Structures are given as structure tokens and as C-alpha cells.
Chain A
Amino acid sequence: MSTVIARTVTRTVVPIILVTAIALLLQGHNLPGGGFIGGVLTVTAFALIYVIYGLDYLEEELLHRNRDPLLESIRHGIVENYQVAFGVGLAVAVVAGLVPILFDYNFLYQSHWYIKPLPIYGKLHVASALAFDLGVYFVVVGALLTILGVVGTE
């Protein structure tokens, strides 16, 4: 499947996909998007790299390393990073839920603020829910990539 056209297109498209995914994550609270969609889109970019360049490419050529994986049967060390990703995501989500308790609110209580005088951008709307969404994002990315990596190795 690795034709020159496919490689070239992938090289161009992947950064766009990633940027779009992050945009979706950030704007999710007010416009279509959110952690889940952003996460799935990010995974799409990685999957594309896998399809076009193969599973080893990402690890060896882009990240320049060759670690021994924890589990012998899984040949790719990067799977461990994916596991860390969804672990961190879950932790972020839980912490985002726990923080309001410190301020005497319910578990998972959300609030939002406007940061007004900003140069160029004008005013910025920040919702505490973004932290939770970030957790969702990482869990989705980590988990799907783990599955993709493991199944893809087979």
C-alpha cells in the first residue's frame, strides 16, 4: 500500500489531522468536538502512519529509540507509552473530579471563568470541564492505540 502518493499524502495530512484533533478537543465545550472525538481523530493519524509506513516506523524513525518491551509477545515498546497515556488520562479525569471537593463542592462539580483582557484574542472562556475532557482524550488515545498496536502486531 506504500505508494509514493500515499506516503506524500500521509506526510502532509497527519499534522493537519493532529492539529484538527487538538482544536476539536479545545473547542469542544462550545462547539462540536470534545475529548472523545479529538481522541479518536488523533488515533486516526497514528493509524494512518501505521498503515502506510508500518508499525516499526513510528518507533524507530520518528522517535529514534528501540526499547525492549515489557511483555515479550508484544514487540513494540511504544505500547507501554500508550498504557501510560491511558493511565495518566484516567488519573487526570479522577483528579479533575476530586479537586472540587477541596473547595467544598460535589465530586465532579464544574465551573467556568472568562479571562477577559487578552491581547489579540480578546476574551478567553475557560471551563474547568476541560481538565476532565483532557482525561477523556488521553484515555481514548491511549486505549485505542494500545489495541491498535497489539492487534496490529499480530
Chain B
Amino acid sequence: MQPTTDPVASAVLAVVFLPFVAAGLVPLVYRLVGERTAYYAAAIALACFGLVASQYGTHGTVSFPWIRSLGVSLSFYVDGLSLLVGFLASGVGVLILTYSGGYMHGEPSQPKYYASLLAFMGSMLGVAFAGDLIALFVFWELTSLSSFMLIGHYQRQESSQYAARKSMLITVAGGLFMLVGFLLLHAVTGEFSIVYMLENPELVQEELRSAGLFLPVLGLIGVGAAAKSAQVPLHIWLPNAMEAPTPVSAFLHSATMVKAGVYLLGRFRPVLVSDEWQLLFAVLGLTTMTVAAILAVGATDIKELLAYSTASHLGLIVAGFGFVSELGGETGAFHIINHATFKAALFLVAGIIAHEAGTRKIENLGGLKDDLPITAGITAVAALGMAGVPPFNGFYSKELLFESAWEAAVHAGGGLAYIYPAVAVLGSVFTFLYSIRFLMLFFGEKPTGLHKVHSPPKAMLAPPLLLGVIAGLVSIGGVLGTFGIHFGPFDNFVTEVWASTVAPDADLHGGFSYYFPDHLTPAVAMSAVTLVLGAVAYPFYGTLHRGVNRVTDVNVLRANWYYNSAVFGLNGLSDRTSRVVQNGLLRTYATWALASVAGLALAGYAATNVALPEFTNFAVTIPIALVLGVAIVGAVAVSIAPSHISGVLTLSILGFMVAVFYVLADAPDLALTQLVVETLLLVIFLLVLDKLPAFYGNTDRGKMVRDGVLSAVVGATVFVTVLVSTAATPEDGIAQFFLEEAVPQGGGGNVVNVILVDFRAFDTMGEIAVVAMAALSVLTLVAMRERGETQ
């Protein structure tokens, strides 16, 4: 199937912006219908799902100008991959929001919850459909922001705050790396359009290489994707994010947020795929897959187990995308779908367990199948899929990974490259182990202390059931595939997603289809090894579990330890810094501000190699010399003035001399202003002087030396700045324009005034607004102080 129809602009726009508008209306809706807001939100998600579905089979761009002067447009691109993520975000959104109706019953601050969930869904849809680098970045960071709100939902709990801050720090920082990568891409290609890059992948990669920026761009985009998709060592935010209410965990960590990272890799795969790409992402993905699977075995909490498992499966997808061959793209595309179905189902199951059994500790749970038979059935399908046990859905995509890893090893000529398949098998063994452990929550004996578990409400049971059925259908599809019966539409869809992740002219081997293997291939052998090793190791699960925990108790081996040390260390540092820099003394503030401004300015001049201009035509007339001489005397007198009165008076000498200098330099307007302001200052000083202490007090010598040096430096900076800035003589200065146009256009002979009230009147208006504002602030501050409201 070759989709050629163009997407409908209004539908695409509606998909992205409807959730935001709906989020804005949530407080109103909540006031009207209370807790049933969940169904309102679910209806919105369903509408989005419908809109996404209506664009199924289209392919193309919808574009609106945004920042014309920079070539940035608000454009949306519809293809297989974006439709897939769109379907996931909105479809799982429907289920999650329905489920929330049951789960969030009686929970606090629900309007905020639904509003941020809807906003999150909208940002995710924006990420999926963005056809422009800047638009993609904006929506990308919006997902970070809204997930911050969601993860920190229980905002009074310290652990929630910690988790929300951590995810925000890591994902937003990762996004900034990605932004730099995008800007480099723009610098090389001159385009912000993703579509352009997808249409000319070879050209773009060639340009990047010749500019020597290929590796930096690859690395920067990789950091962004790794932060979002929780790749080692940035995976640490994901387990903490389980602080969020369970539906949020299911949404963020199965279907959407973390998928943004793999989506990014899929999106840029056609453009950046290369040997370096394979080395970076195959290694990163396989490492994550294995490390996270091992950590999942060490987990003691069911949501923690699932969180690590998510990181592990994302590693699998990243590794899939990492392999250069077409198979790699296929692996990633297919596993995104499989993972979303079984992981969302499992998270919802975990929510049911936590909600109904009242605990999430693995050791306190067991034998749940008698009380929760339907849930047990769902879990069996989903967990076996997650384990990669044939014939369940995860098995097929893992087969693809094994196949591409094997192929990559063979292609590379063996040797070290066989580490790829070996690590893939190792990771899968641990995946098998923790998946079975999760399943065993429903079997075996009920531990003492676990009371009778109630059945969950229907709203909570239906969504995981639906997901389980989908996972089951995908599984059955594989078995049927062996007999030559395929789900045509499903295979077509996966083909389209696959096509989005490979170069436009790649060979797709006649499209995607999957079936239960009927003859021995290396991949089948690897699967068999995995299952056998897993089955052999399972009886020793307890030992492994303790072993993993013993290893992760060692600080230097934990990524989290580095994070905590860095964050808390920096906190301490900033506390100490603010105690030194902002100690409440005006003098200190002035010292730091002046010193840093002077330092930065001088460093800037030094860094840019500014040359001081030559002194030509440097002639001083006698009057000017005289005036400046008196000014210098005044300046010296200020610094040695014994009292405030004489200080102010001598300062005025300096001011008036400057005014006279302006007169001599043919600037009467400036002179007048200087004169008047100086007079006013003098008068105001006299007004407040008798309130001040008569003496300066005794300052110690060290401080005086410091202040002296500082004033010398500031003076030198200003001097150099004036020299440097007046040395520049632009070719076509604007002065001439004002001189010529002042009378005909402004109707005034005083050019300065004409500029103020005519050419730049808008600036002046802003300035007088500021003056008025300053007066109001003084008034308010004084009034507030007396009322004691400034605590």
C-alpha cells in the first residue's frame, strides 16, 4: 500500500490542539460534573483517536507560517511513525482516562490531574506530528513540563517532589542537548524542516560530514533521546517516576513519554543511520536492556519492577533502531507496538493490585488468581509477551532483535561484534526472569497477612482487558502467520511505520509479516537458549534478587548515587554562594555586581581581540582642559571628603563640570539635562542628609584598598568601553537620516527632542511608564512596610 493522499489540515491541527483546549476547560467541567471529568477527558482522547484514525492512509505535510524571518513554521508531518505514536498516545489515553475514573476516586486535586494529563497527551501528539525542528522541540519540552506536574501529583510528599524534580532535570536537560543538535542541523542545512531532511537523507548526512558536525549532531540528538527514553545511565528518573498515580505511570512509561525518545531515533534514523549510529545506539540499547533487566530482578516493588522493565524494553527498541540493516527498523517499529500493549496492561494490573490488595511489595503478594481471575488472565498474556515466550507477542519482536543482532555480527565479520547477540541473549534471560516473577504474583500460596482481595470496578478492569485482548490478537496473528493467514491491515500499518524509519529507497522485502518460526535459524537458537537459561535460573530467583541488591548497595555502582551527590552538592554550593554574595549588605551587592560586570566586559574584549583605536586628531582646547581639570580635582575631593555635606557638594562640582563640558562639546540638550538632574540630585541629597549619620565610620584598610581597586577597574572598563564603542564608524550611520528628516517629518529643530517624541516616541512612552511604575513601587513599598505585610 502506498499512501499518497495528503492529510487534512484541520484534522491534524485539531488532533494537536484539542487536548490543550480541553485541558483549559477542565476546571469548568469539574465544577459541573465532578469526578465524572474522567469521562469527559476520555471522550476528548477518543475524539483525538478518531481524528488520528481519520488521517490513516495519508502521508504528507500540513504547514503554517510561524516565525517567518527565521524560516520556522508550525508544520505537521503525517506518516506511519507519527500515526503510530499518535494512535498510542490517544488510544492508550482513552483507556488511561477511563481507568482514572475508578482509580482516582476520592483523590485530591483532580482538576489539575486531568488538565495536566490532557495537556500531556496534546504535547505528545504534537511531538508525534511535528514536522519542524523547533515545533518538535517545543512540544518535546512541553511533555517534560506536563509530566513534571503529573509525577509530582502528590505535591506535599517529599518523594514526589524529588521524583518530579529529577525527571524534569534529566528530561529537560536532555531536550536542551537535542536543541543544540537541531541548531547544528539547521546551521549545516539551512532548514528547520524535518520533511526536507527525510526527503534528502543522503545529502544532509553528506553535508553534516563535510562540515565535521556529523558526530556532534548524532551525539546531541542521542543524549536527548536517551534522557527521554531512560537509557543507561540516564534511566534513574524512571523508577522514581512511579511516585505518580498508577494510571500516569502506565501512560507515561508504557505508551507515551518514554516513547518520545525512541520516536526521535526512529524519526532521524533515515537521516543519520551509519556505522557510527550503529555503534552508538546498538551498544547503548543493549546495555540498557541488560542493565535495566538485571535491576528489575532486584526490584522489591511491583511498580519499580515494571519501571525498570520499561527501561529495559526501551533499550531493546533503541538497539533495534540502532542496527543499520532494514531489520533493525522493523524490530523497533514492531516492538514499540508490542511493548505499548503489554506494558500498559501490566501497569494497569499493578494499579489494580495496589488499589485492591493495599500493597505493592512483591514479597507480600501471591496467589492472587483466586480473587482476581480476569486480571490473572490478562497478566498471563501480557507477562508472557513481555518475557518473550513463544507464541506471545513480545516473542516475535525479540526474534527480530536477535536476527538483526546476529546479522550485524556476521556483517561486521564476527569477532567482537558477536558481543551484540550475546548481550541480547543475556538481557533477554533476565527479562524472562522478572516477567515470570511478576506472573507468579497470581500463583503459588497467598502470603499470611494478605486479606481477601476485592474485585476492581469495571472502569478499572475494562482498559487492561482490552489491551490484553489486543496483545493476545497480535500473538495469535503470529501463529496464524505460520499457516499463511495474515492480518492484512495490521501488517500494512507496521510496514508503513517501518518504512518511516528506513531510507526512502530501502528494500522492505515485500512488506512486514510475522510468523511462528518453522525451521531452525540463529535467532530461533538464541530464543531457545534464552528460555532454557531462564527456566534453569528461575529457581534461584531469590538468590539473584539478593545478589543484585547487594551489588546496587555499593554507592559507586549506582547512577543514582552520582545524581544525588551532584544535585545535593550543588545545592550546598549554591547555599554557600548566596551567603557570600547576597549577605544583605548593599555594599556587598554593589561590589559583586560591579566586579562581575567589569570582569565580563573586559574578558569579552580580550576574547574578541578588540583593538583600541589610535588616538588621532586628539586635540584639547584650553577651556576643555580647564573644565576637565576642575572635574578631576572634584573627583579626588569626593573621595577624601570628610563629611557627607562636603562629599555631596564636591560631587556636584564634578557633575556641573561635565555639564559645562557638554556645552563646550556642542551638546546643549545633554548639558541642560545634566545640569537640571544634577541640581535636583543636590537638592534631594540636602533633603535627606540630616537623617544620615555624620561620620562614615571607621573602615579598615583592607576594605578601602579593595574598594579602591574595584573603582579603578570599573573606571578602566568604562574608559575602554567608550574608546572601543566610539571607534566603530558605521558606513551608513542613522544620524544623517535624523538630521535630514527632523524638520520635514517631525517639524522640530531640536533633533534630540524630535527623536524622543516622534521617531522613538514609543520608547519614550515605555520609559515614562517605567518612571510612573517606579513612583508607584516606592509608594507601595513604604506603605507596605508600615502595615507589616512584608514578612
Name the contact of B768 in the complex, choosing from A28, A32, A90, A108 (C-beta under 8 A).
Answer: A90
Q: A28-B753, A37-B672, A129-B747 are in contact. Are A143 and B782 (CB under 8 A)?
A: no
For chain B, what secondary structure do more than half of its interface residues adopt (helix, strand, loop), or is it mixed? helix
Q: Is B580 an interface residue (CB 8 A)?
A: no
Interface flags, A17-52, vs B, CB<8A=1, else 0: 000000010001111111111001101100110110
Q: Which of B45-53, B110-118, B403-411, B783-791 contacts A (4 or more CB under 8 A)?
A: B783-791
Q: How far is the CA of A44 from the CA of B680 in the complex (A)?
A: 5
Given contacts A90-B769, A152-B687, contact A37 B673 (CB under 8 A): yes
Give Cα distance in the complex from A40 to B677, angstroms: 7
Chain B residues near A37: list those with CB within 8 A. Answer: 669, 672-673, 676
A154 in the interface, Cβ–Cβ < 8 Å? Answer: yes
Q: Which of A36, A97, A125, A143 contacts B756 (CB 8 A)?
A: A36
**A31, B750: Cβ atoms closer than 8 Å:** yes
- Is the contact region of chain A dominated by helix, strand, or loop, or is it mixed? helix
B596 interface hit (Cβ, 8 Å)? no
Contact A33 B747 (CB under 8 A): no
Q: Scoring A residues 46 to 82 as 1 if CB is less than 8 Å from chain B, else 0, what string do you get?
A: 0110110000000000000000000111100001001
Q: How far is the CB of A133 from chain B (nearest CB, A)?
A: 5
Contacts of B687 in A (CB 8 A): 47, 50-51, 148, 152
- Contact flag A33-B748 (CB < 8 Å), given A74-B782, A86-B775, A140-B771: no
Contact yes or no, A110 B782, CB < 8 A: no
Q: Are B749 and A36 in contact (CB under 8 A)?
A: no
B81 to chain A, nearest CB (A): 48
Q: Are A47 and B683 in contact (CB under 8 A)?
A: yes
Q: Is A102 an interface residue (CB 8 A)?
A: no
A9 close to B (CB within 8 Å): no
- Please, how many angstroms separate the alpha-carbon atoms of A43 and B678 in the complex? 12
Q: Are A83 and B779 in contact (CB under 8 A)?
A: yes
> Is B684 at the interface (CB under 8 A from chain A)?
yes
Partner of A43, one of B680, B691, B768, B769: B680
Contacting pair A147 B778 (CB below 8 A): yes
Measured between beta carbons, the chain B residues less than 8 angstroms from A86 are 771-772, 775
- Asked if B765 is an interface residue, CB under 8 A from chain A, the answer is yes
Bound complex: CA A43 to CA B672 (Å): 15
- Asked if B757 is at the interface (CB within 8 A of a chain A CB), the reply is yes
Q: Provided the pairs A37-B672, A136-B764, A152-B687 are in contact, do residues A143 and B757 lie with their beta carbons within 8 angstroms? A: no
Which chain B residues border A90 with CB–CB below 8 Å? 768-769, 772
A74 to B775, CA, bound (A): 14
Considering the chains assembled together, what is the distance between the CA atoms of A1 and B764 in angstroms?
38
Closest to B744 in A: A112
A110 contacts B746, CB within 8 Å? yes
Contacting pair B747 A151 (CB below 8 A): no
- Interface set, chain A 113-154, CB cutoff 8 A to B: 125, 127, 129, 132-133, 135-136, 139-140, 142-144, 146-148, 150-154
Which residue in B757, B758, B778 is a CB contact (below 8 Å) of A150?
Answer: B778
Residue of B nearest to A128 (CB): B747
Taking CB atoms, residues of chain A closer than 8 Å to B747 are 29, 110-112, 125, 127, 129
Q: Flag whether B688 is at the interface (Cβ < 8 A).
A: yes
Number of interface residues of B (CB under 8 A): 44
Residues in A neighbouring B754, C-beta threshold 8 A = 29, 129
Question: Which residues of chain A are near B752, meaning CB under 8 Å?
Answer: 34
- Distance to closest chain B CB from A105 (angstroms): 12
Chain A residues, Cβ within 8 Å of B765? 93-94, 97, 108
Query: How far apart are A33's CB and chain B's nearest CB, in angstroms?
Result: 7
A57 → chain B closest CB, angstroms: 13
How far does the alpha carbon of A146 sit from the alpha carbon of B771 in the complex, in Å? Answer: 11
| Interchain CB contact under 8 A, B768 and A30 | no
Q: Tell me the bound Cα distance from A129 to B759 in angstroms.
A: 11
A40 touches B768 (CB 8 A): no
The answer on a CB contact under 8 Å between A143 and B680 is no
The reply to whether B775 and A142 form a contact with Cβ atoms under 8 Å apart is yes
Complex alpha-carbon distance, A127 and B779, angstroms: 35
> Which B66-105 residues have C-beta < 8 A from chain A?
none
Q: How far apart are the CA atoms of A133 and B768 in the complex, in Å? A: 11
Is B528 located at the chain interface by the 8 A CB criterion? no
Instruction: Write the chain A residue with the least CB distance to B687.
Output: A51
- Supposing A31-B750, A44-B679, A48-B683 touch, asked if A129 and B771 sit within 8 A by C-beta, the answer is no
Distance in angstroms between the alpha carbons of A80 and B765 in the assembled complex: 22
Per-position binary interface string of chain B over residues 236-280, scored 1 when its CB falls under 8 Å from any chain A CB and 0 otherwise: 000000000000000000000000000000000000000000000
Shortest B302–chain A CB gap in Å is: 61
Contacts A44-B676, A146-B778 given: A89-B757 contact, CB under 8 Å? no
Q: Are B680 and A29 in contact (CB under 8 A)?
A: no
Residues of A within 8 A of B679 (CB): 41, 44
Which residues of A sit under 8 angstroms from B761, Cβ to Cβ? 97, 108, 110, 129, 132
Q: Kindly state the separation between the CA atoms of A35 and B677 in the bound complex, as whole angstroms.
A: 13
Q: Identify the closest chain B residue to A129 (Cβ).
A: B757
On chain B, the residues within 8 Å of A125 by CB distance are: 747
Interface residue B737 (Cβ < 8 Å from any Cβ of A): no
A97 to chain B, nearest CB (A): 7
Chain B residue nearest to A107 in the complex (CB):
B762
Residue in B684, B686, B753, B774 whose CB lies within 8 Å of A143: B774
User: Once the chains bind, are A47 and B768 in contact (CB under 8 Å)?
Assistant: no
Nearest B residue to A17 by beta-carbon distance? B679
Contact of B757 with A110 in the complex, beta carbons under 8 Å: yes
Minimal Cβ-Cβ distance residue in A for B759 = A110
Q: Determine whether B34 belongs to the interface, using a CB cutoff of 8 Å to chain A.
A: no
Q: Does B668 belong to the interface (CB within 8 Å)?
A: yes
User: Which 6 pairs between the two chains have the least Cβ-Cβ distance?
Assistant: A112-B747, A73-B786, A143-B775, A29-B748, A30-B749, A129-B757
**Chain B residues at the A interface, C-beta cutoff of 8 Å:** 668-669, 671-673, 676-677, 679-680, 683-684, 686-688, 691, 746-750, 752-754, 756-758, 761-762, 764-765, 768-769, 771-772, 774-776, 778-779, 782-783, 785-787
A-B contact pairs, 8 of them (CB 8 A): A24-B672, A31-B749, A33-B750, A107-B762, A129-B748, A129-B753, A136-B768, A140-B771
Known pairs A34-B750, A40-B673, A129-B753; list 11 more (Cβ under 8 Å). Answer: A29-B748, A36-B673, A36-B756, A47-B683, A71-B779, A74-B783, A87-B772, A93-B768, A151-B782, A152-B688, A153-B782
